[in-house]
């Protein structure tokens, strides 16, 4: 019989104050089992204090072939960075 358990992506928060970070994937029959399996698979050595699981099919990813038109518009707007501006040496706390 074909294994019909869906694929889940796993995100772990390693400690308070940090974001959840993608660590890998696993198969599970439902969300509860995905959480339990993620606990056993990805946190055997205190790697986390919180787990998110999401079925892989619910993730929409950008196409790497479109990355130029997607991200190009940000490239020439250097005035969005603080280093673009000259602050006189006499001026402090800025």
Q: Tell me which residues touch other proteins (CB under 8 A).
A: 1-5, 7, 24-27, 29-30, 32-33, 40-41, 44-45, 61, 63-65
From the CB of 31, what's the least distance to other proteins, in Å?
9
Residue 69 DSSP label: H
Nearer to other proteins by C-beta: 3 or 16? 3
Alpha-carbon distances of 93 from 23, 43, 49, 80, 84, rounded to whole Å:
40, 43, 38, 19, 17
Which of 3/83 has CB closer to other proteins?
3
Looking at the Cβ atoms of 65 and 89, the one nearer to other proteins is: 65
Using a 10 angstrom Cβ sphere, with 0-12 exposed, 13-18 middle and 19 or more buried, the burial of residue 20 is middle
The Cα 59–Cα 61 span in angstroms is 6
Minimal CA–CA distance to 20: which of 43, 37, 41? 43
Nearest approach, Cβ of 16 to other proteins (angstroms)? 22
Smallest distance, other proteins to C-beta of residue 89, A: 39
Q: Smaller CB distance to other proteins: residue 50 or 67?
A: 67
């Amino acid at each position: 019989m074909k294994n019909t358990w869906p694929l889940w992506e796993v995100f772990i928060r390693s400690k308070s104050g940090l974001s959840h970070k993608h660590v890998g994937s696993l198969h599970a029959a439902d969300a509860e089992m995905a959480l339990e399996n993620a606990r056993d698979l990805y946190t055997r050595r205190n790697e986390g204090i919180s787990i998110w699981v999401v079925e892989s099919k619910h993730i929409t990813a950008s196409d790497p072939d479109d990355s130029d038109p997607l991200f190009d518009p940000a490239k020439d707007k250097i005035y969005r960075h603080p280093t673009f501006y000259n602050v006189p040496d006499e001026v402090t706390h800025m």
